């Protein structure tokens, strides 16, 4: 092949030969160095303890002596101030001045007399109630009886017969007797209790009740001579008689 060519003007031109220039050689050298350096870093990364690594990591030595760990010095606990509570001083009061006694003015008006309180008059008769077995007055009935009995006496325990009425009001076993409760009676109708004896028959079967019966001594005009006294009844045969005694107060 000829090293010459022709242009359109039929002039001969000279063709360069295929040879490496200086810059091409330098480029190839840089590429080779880069490849070598990259390969070197790959080998060091894969085997860090290889001889080609100028800075190998510290190898583990199983026979090496352990290095003691330094224990930091602990500080003492913080001291807390405990306040000391002092006693509270009690102030001493200043003594007060005692005033001189003043003269009491003379009054010509006599002081008003204050009457003493009068005592509430008590009832003419007091009442005592006890509970007994009815067989002492009705032995033939045994426990088949329940009632109220008693006497009326004066201050010397003598029987009072005339001019008095014993009134019993309320209910017994859910029922009332008479227009105002139990029919009133007078002393002397039950001489077994004494000359002024009286008696109220309640029933043949003892029952218990409390606060449903009230007994009172009155005169013929109905004026009360004693306090209203409640009577209790018991279902026990030993307490089926309420024994009442009216005694005149001194």
pLDDT tens digit sequence for 107-126 = 555 555 455 554 545 789 99
Give 196-220 pLDDT, tens digit per residue: 999 999 999 999 999 899 999 999 9
The torsion angle over the Cα atoms of residues 220, 222, 223 and 224, rounded to 10 degrees, is: 110
Q: What is the pLDDT of residue 1?
A: 46
Cβ(134)–Cβ(146) below 8 Å: yes
Q: Which domains does the chain have, with CATH numbers?
A: 4-46 (no CATH), 125-248 (2.60.40)
Tokens at 168, concatenated: 């019993």
The helix/strand/coil state of 244 is: strand
**Alpha-helical segments (H) within 81-178:** none
| Cα separation, 110 vs 113, whole angstroms | 9
Q: What is the pLDDT of residue 42?
A: 87
Residue 197 sits at the vertex; the CA angle it makes with 196 and 198, to the nearest 5 degrees, is 120
Q: What is the pLDDT of residue 112?
A: 57
| Cα separation, 39 vs 233, whole angstroms | 126
- Whole-model pTM? 0.52
Q: What is the pLDDT of residue 12?
A: 47
- Only one residue has tokens 């043949």, namely 204
Residues of the chain with pLDDT under 70: 1-20, 58-69, 71-91, 93, 95-99, 101-121, 178-181
Q: What is the pLDDT of residue 162?
A: 87
Q: What is the pLDDT of residue 48?
A: 82
Q: What is the pLDDT of residue 135?
A: 94
Tokens at 214, concatenated: 């009230």
């Amino acid at each position: 092949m000829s090293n010459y060519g022709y242009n359109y003007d039929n002039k001969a031109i000279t063709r360069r030969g295929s040879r490496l220039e200086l810059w091409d050689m330098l480029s190839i050298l840089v590429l080779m160095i880069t490849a070598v350096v990259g390969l070197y870093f790959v080998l060091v990364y894969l085997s860090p303890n290889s001889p080609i690594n100028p800075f190998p990591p510290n190898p583990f030595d199983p026979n090496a002596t352990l290095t003691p760990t330094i224990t930091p010095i602990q500080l003492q606990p913080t001291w807390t101030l405990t306040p000391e509570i002092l006693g509270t001083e009690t102030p001493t009061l200043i003594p007060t001045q005692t005033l001189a006694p003043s003269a009491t003015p003379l009054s010509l008006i006599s002081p008003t007399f204050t009457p003493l309180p009068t005592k509430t008059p008590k009832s003419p008769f007091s009442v005592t109630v006890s509970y007994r077995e009815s067989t002492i007055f009705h032995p033939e009935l045994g426990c088949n009886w329940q009632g109220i009995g008693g006497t009326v006496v004066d201050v010397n325990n003598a029987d009072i017969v005339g001019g008095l009425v014993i009134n019993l009001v309320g209910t017994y076993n859910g029922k009332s007797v008479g227009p105002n409760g139990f029919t009133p009676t007078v002393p002397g109708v039950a001489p077994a209790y004494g000359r002024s004896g009286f008696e109220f028959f309640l029933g043949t079967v003892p029952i218990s009740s409390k606060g449903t019966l009230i007994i009172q001594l009155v005169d013929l005009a109905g004026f009360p001579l004693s306090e209203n006294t409640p009577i209790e009844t018991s279902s026990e045969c030993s307490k089926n008689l309420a024994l009442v005694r009216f005694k005149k107060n001194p």
